[in-house]
């Protein structure tokens, strides 16, 4: 009985494999609007896409298998971590489909040896400038991260779009740090392109700067590695 079933079944499978039309991989991918950071380090411009793997959706480079960069899709829960105050994210362990929930700061919490290492690094960095520091002075440290920077800008533009959907800007002024641009993202016109993506086609003027002025918690400060955007409405 098994032979009677398996013989014709095997022939049908072989015939389907030979004659069936192949589905293009591009039809199973969705663009993310971001560029691959691994390819950017080599001077190449490769979009990131959302793919489907055995454990669900993930982000990968569009040039796979030439580039094997992958990352998880950020799934926010809207709940804050009780320890750090950061966002709790839905995660999946490799090889398991069942999700679990963890803090976005997982792997970066400063405890024990990590905290001591950071203390020593800060002491070494600040020692030459200790005479110029004031008690309770705010000190900024900048980490250049193309992915995090792009996500922040996308989030802020989306918030602007959601909060003022009926008030389309007529002109945008963009002032970006010299540390951004093609050197950070691996593609020219990243910030201006994202403005157009979220707010539509509109005139954009501005220039690159050695420091940008913008508000933080109600106070105006000078920033580095940032973009300051002013949106102007028609009178």
Q: SS3 of 79, please?
A: strand
Condensed to tens digits (0 to 9), the pLDDT of residues 4-47 reads 777 788 888 888 777 777 666 666 788 888 888 888 877 888 89
pTM of the full structure = 0.42
Residue pair 227/212 in contact (Cβ under 8 Å)? The answer is yes
Q: SS3 of 126, please?
A: helix
Judged by phi (left if over 0) then psi (alpha if -120 to 50, else beta), residue 24 lies in beta
Segments making up each domain of the chain, as ranges: 26-73, 76-104, 142-232
Distance CA 115, CA 107 (A): 13
Condensed to tens digits (0 to 9), the pLDDT of residues 72-130 reads 777 788 888 776 677 888 776 655 567 777 777 665 555 556 667 767 777 777 777 77
């Amino acid at each position: 009985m098994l032979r009677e079933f398996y013989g014709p079944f095997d022939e049908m499978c072989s015939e389907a494999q030979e004659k069936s039309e192949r589905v293009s991989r591009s039809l199973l991918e969705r663009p993310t609007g971001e560029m691959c950071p691994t390819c950017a380090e080599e001077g190449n411009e490769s979009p990131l896409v959302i793919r489907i793997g055995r454990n669900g959706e993930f982000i990968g480079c569009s040039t796979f298998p030439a580039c094997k960069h992958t990352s998880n899709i950020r799934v926010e829960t809207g709940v804050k971590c009780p320890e750090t105050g950061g966002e709790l994210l839905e995660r999946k362990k490799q090889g398991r489909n069942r999700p679990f929930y963890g803090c976005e700061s997982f792997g970066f919490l400063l405890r024990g040896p990590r905290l001591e290492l950071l203390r020593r690094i800060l002491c070494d960095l600040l020692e030459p400038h200790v005479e110029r520091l004031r008690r309770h002075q705010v000190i900024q440290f900048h980490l250049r991260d193309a992915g995090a920077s792009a996500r922040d800008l996308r989030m802020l533009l989306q918030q602007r779009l959601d909060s003022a959907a009926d008030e389309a800007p007529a002109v945008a002024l963009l002032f970006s740090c010299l540390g951004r641009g093609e050197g950070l993202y691996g593609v020219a016109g990243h910030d201006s392109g994202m403005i157009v993506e979220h707010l539509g086609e509109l005139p954009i003027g501005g220039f690159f700067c050695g420091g940008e002025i913008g508000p933080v918690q109600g106070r105006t400060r000078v920033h580095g590695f940032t973009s300051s955007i002013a949106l102007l409405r028609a009178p």
